[in-house]
Every structure is written in C-alpha cells, then in structure tokens.
Copies of this chain bind each other. A is one copy, B any other.
Amino acid sequence: MPSEFLSNLDPKNSEEDFKTLGTACRLNALSMIKAAGSGHIGSSFSAIDLIIASKIFYQSKSADLFFSSKGHDAPGLYSVMNALGEIPDEMMLKLRRMAGLPGHPEVGLFGIPTSTGSLGMGISKAKGFWYAKENINSRITVLLGDGELQEGQIWESLPGASRDKMGGLIAIVDGNKIQSDTWVEMTLPLGDLQKRVEGSGWRYLECDGHEYASLKKAFDEISRESSKPIFLYAHTKKSSGVSFMEDFNPEGLFYKYHSGSPGDEEYAEAAKELILKLDLELPESLFPKSPTIENALIPSSNDFLPKERNRSLIQCWAEILEEIFSSDVKFMALDADLSYDTGTYKVAQSFKSRYIQCGIAEQDMVSMAGSLALSGKVPIVHSFASFLTTRAAEQIFNNLSEHSKIVYCGFLAGILPSAPGHSHQAVSDFGIISSFPNIEIFEPACETELQLMKTFIHETDKSIYLRIGSVDLPEPAPVNSVSIGKLTTRKIGSKFAIITSGPSMTRIALEVADLMGGGLVSVFTYPTPGRQLSDDDLSNLFEYKKIVVLENHMPALGIFQNLSRASISEYLSVTRIGVCELPRNGHTDEVLNFHGMDAASIKQKLLG
C-alpha cells in the first residue's frame, strides 16, 4: 500500500478511493489464503468493506476497539490492518504459520483485542470491554457473521447491554446470507431480526455493506446515539469482488468458497479480476503508479503449500452412515452447518426425513438429540469436536444422566490440523468426555477401525463419543484383524512399544518405528482408549523395555491411565475411591453408602 494514499486516508476520501482500497485488500487476502493453503475467502471478502468503514468512519481514538467475533474473516481483517499500517508487510505471507498470523485472530498480536473463532462470544466480549473502559467515550465495535446469529449466546448477551445502557457499543453483522454449507435461509432462518433485536432493547439499523455512502450514513447515525447499544445489519455478498465466487445457485447445495484455498487456476482467475478492477478504478491523484500491482501480495508458486489430498475418514464415515441408516430406521443424523466436514451430506440427501439441519446451534442440537433418544431413536450428532464437547457440555451431561443412547461425532479432533487456531483444536474434548458417565470414547486410527462402528453402535448400551481426527492423511498399511476392546497390531518390534489412537498419531508412531529401524518398535492402536486393556494385551506389554503412550489430547484419562491402573497397586499400595458412576440422589448417608464413600465402607477397604 502506498504511503501517500494512506496518509491521506480520511472519512472525506471519495467512494472510489475506498472501493480501490477494498479491492486491493481483497487481492492481498486472496494471496494470503493461497499461500497458507487454507482460510476463508467468502467471509473475508464480504467483510472487508465493513472493516474499512468501521475503522475509518467510526473508530478514531486509540482507546476505541474493533474486533471480529466470527474470526473466519481473519485474512480480510489482516489485509485491512496492513493497509492501515497496523501489520507489517513481511507478515503477510505468513498466514497460519507459527510466529506468523494465526488462522483466527489471537489476542495481543498487532493490537488485536481478543481471541475469536468460536462463534457467538463477540457481544459478550464487547460488553466486558465496555464495563472496563476508562474513557467514557470509547467506542467498541464487534463484527459478527450472520450464520453466527444462530448461536444462543448472541441472544443471551443482548439484554444486559440494554439494561446497562451501553452507548458506544455496536455489533455489525456481515449479512452475506451464506454460511458454511449453504444459504442461511436454507440452514436455519434468522426470522425478523429487527423485532428480535429491538425486543431486546437494542437499536436496529441496516445498510449496504459494500457501498461506502451507505456505510458512512449508518456510522454517522450511530455516532449520534449515546445511550443505546446498536445492532447494524449490513447487507453484503459472500466473496464479494470476484464474480465467479459470488455466484451461488438459489437452490445451492454447497457453497464452494466458504473455506479452503483456491486451486491454481481459480487463484489466477480471481486475482486477474481484482487486478483489472484496480487498474480501472485507480485514482491517478493518489496513486503515482499502480502500487497494488507492484506491491500487492502475489505469491510465487514456490510460496504455495503442497496439497496432500487423501481420502479422509470423513468420506468413509459418510458411507458408513448410509449403511447404518439402511440397517435400521431408528438412526437419525443431526448436523450443525458442517455437513461436508462431518460426512452427513450423503444421508442428508438419501434419508431426508431422518436428517435434521440444526444450524450453528450446538446446544439446541444436543438437547434435541436427547429427547429423540428418549423417543426410541438413535441420534447421531455431528460437529467439530472442539465446539460439540464444550459448547454443549451441559446438554451432553444431561442426556447421559438419562441413560439413553446417542452417538456424538466430534471431527477435527486433536491437535491437527493446527492451522485454524486454538478455537478449532480439540485437545480438551477427550478429558471432558472422560469425566462424564455412561459414555464410551471410540477413536479410530484408520478406515478399518472406523468400520467397527457398524457393529459397535448396535452392541453398546452406552452413548458413544466418536472422536475423529479428520485430517487428510494416507491410510496406514492395512491390518489383518481389528476388534472392539483389543489393541490393533500395526507393527511388531522387539524392544519398544508405542500405543496410540487416531490417524495422526498412528502415522507418527509408524514413522518412529521406521526411523528406529531394525524391528525394534511395535506399534499398537486402541480405538477404545477409555476401556481397560484386556489381560492378554496387558501381559504382552510387559515384554517391552519401554512403552510410549501417545495421546492426542490434554492429559486426562486415556490409555496411560489404563496402564497405571494396572500397575500402580502392586508398587505403591494405592486404592482409588471416588464417584465411579452416575451419582445417586438422596440423603447424604444413603448416597455415600451406595458409592462406597462413607466411613464404614472405607474402613472395610483399608482392612481388606
């Protein structure tokens, strides 16, 4: 970006100046995503004009805060911040790299106020900033996605802001009308937003989110309101600025440009359109030369990450789901706007009446699954592991307390992929689920282990947490036999053993065995990592000089705990007493006695 342009940048610049800036930022965001190999084009492009307008027309003092709640628009946000001198050029091709720019915004980096990417938290966070602000005139602006408005926390957060007369707090909605899979209206309609928002005591405005005159008018209006929080719904277009990406069939099944990096040809075509637009619109007085072409981020093909595209467990699960559905009418699938990331897209077509699109509303989805299960259905609930197990933790616990059978499928489980950021890395899901009663974790390492679900789902009475590491990895070498409750042998070695679960860690374990060479390392996978190892498997482990338990989650129960249960009692005489099943209700004494936690029971254990 040319400093001449930026030093002159001011609310009085012309509509064309801002449009040029917006186009240049789109070109940069596109290039960042191409170089990173992943990112969200659609949401970045629809938001860029909103970000520019907020920062230039509304945010002026250093104490003013702007942040994106949806966070998926990070490349768009970064490109505007770069244009405004807030992020240096050298960071721009380091999107989603360590010590680079995170996939979703992270607090502290270049003044970003808070970490986002888990949807729905934005207004609450803006309210916290509002309570803490020292300058009474500080302005706090949070950008939301329209799909994000499906989250209950958004609606939970509105009344407190009107109760406390939070003037200077505004929520802008990037109303691009398409969410992860398809149209918002086809996913979960938002209803009459104006009524819903005004009913909560907020002021409601609308504007055209790509027309700077309309945006300026809205912000002028907003600046005059001092006693009410304001909700500005901006009509935008997903992927705005690149014509072939804007196109989406009204009955569209799956919108292609929500996430992911464009292919080489798509990238070239999109960049060409943006560059052409820049030339056409370039205001001569401000740009002595064509800076957006000379300085723009056009990565060379060397900057592109190699693409490893394998058949991931998602496709395999999509097929298994169809088989399960065919086997018994009681199975139903629920999905939270991630049908192509969780594999429900097949049954959504072939078993329409047994598929519920829940929108980005995980709590609602899980509680609906609860009553479906009580009605004799077996609901199979889908989302990313990080969202499903945390956003809906209480709802899952409540369902488990009802002893019904529900299958919870958590995708993107584990530390990988590591590019999207903390909000998408599910490393606490294992511990959370391990802390609940009446549920068993199933974590397949490969398609063969995943196939076990077809019988497991019928055999167990408990609920199941299907923990799926959905990274694109080559399938490990085929195994001869897999069965529930047994270690799967993947490699035989003489001295060391690695025990693990899930595809990523399995591939790493096999790599270790190769690295060590000479038939030294055995590799086992264990798809039911919360289960006690069988006596056979356990006694076989005593042959090894050293055992590594490789776990793709924060420390919690798991295979390691299995082993320690088996060994600790013989070394240091420790007996564990605790709540080992769903707690009973009643008088203190009767409940403690039931659980063996009263004094007399403990005395017996000590003497026994």
Q: Quick one: given A415-B579, A548-B577, are A152 and B150 in contact (CB under 8 Å)? A: no
Q: Is the CB of B553 within 8 A of A372?
A: no
Task: Check if A160 is an interface residue, CB within 8 A of chain B.
Answer: yes
- Give the Cβ gap from A263 to chain B, nearest Cβ, in Å: 20
Q: Is the CB of B584 within 8 A of A508?
A: no
State in angstroms the CA–CA spacing of A120 and B153 once bound together.
12
State in angstroms the CA–CA spacing of A416 and B157 once bound together.
32
Q: How many copies does the complex hold?
A: 2
State in angstroms the CA–CA spacing of A495 and B516 once bound together.
47
Q: Is the CB of B364 within 8 A of A583?
A: no
Residues on B with beta carbons closer than 8 Å to the beta carbon of A115: 398, 401-402
Partner of A371, one of B114, B188, B585: B114
Partner of A129, one of B375, B434, B584: B375
User: Which A4-61 residues sit within 8 Å CB-CB of chain B?
Assistant: none
Partner of A132, one of B96, B200, B376, B397: B376
Task: Check if A419 is an interface residue, CB within 8 A of chain B.
Answer: yes
State in angstroms the CA–CA spacing of A416 and B595 once bound together.
12
State in angstroms the CA–CA spacing of A572 and B120 once bound together.
46
Q: How many residues of A contact B (CB 8 A)?
A: 171
8 example contacts (A-B, Cβ-Cβ < 8 A) are as follows A415-B597, A418-B586, A418-B587, A437-B554, A547-B573, A550-B577, A553-B579, A567-B572
Residues on B with beta carbons closer than 8 Å to the beta carbon of A91: none
State in angstroms the CA–CA spacing of A188 and B157 once bound together.
10
A115-B398, A546-B575 given; 18 more Cβ-contact pairs under 8 Å: A118-B398, A128-B371, A151-B152, A152-B153, A152-B156, A158-B191, A195-B195, A398-B422, A415-B583, A416-B592, A420-B585, A430-B435, A431-B434, A431-B435, A435-B555, A498-B602, A548-B574, A549-B575
Q: Quick one: given A364-B156, A583-B425, are A393 and B551 in contact (CB under 8 Å)? A: no
Q: Is the CB of B591 within 8 A of A418?
A: yes
Q: Is the CB of B550 within 8 A of A599?
A: no
Q: Quick one: given A199-B193, A417-B588, A422-B583, are A132 and B435 in contact (CB under 8 Å)? A: no
- Closest Cβ neighbor of A142 among chain B residues: B371
User: Which A485-525 residues sit within 8 Å CB-CB of chain B?
Assistant: 496, 498, 505, 508-509, 511-512, 514-516, 521
Q: Is the CB of B390 within 8 A of A397?
A: yes
Task: Check if A603 is an interface residue, CB within 8 A of chain B.
Answer: yes
- Closest Cβ neighbor of A560 among chain B residues: B576
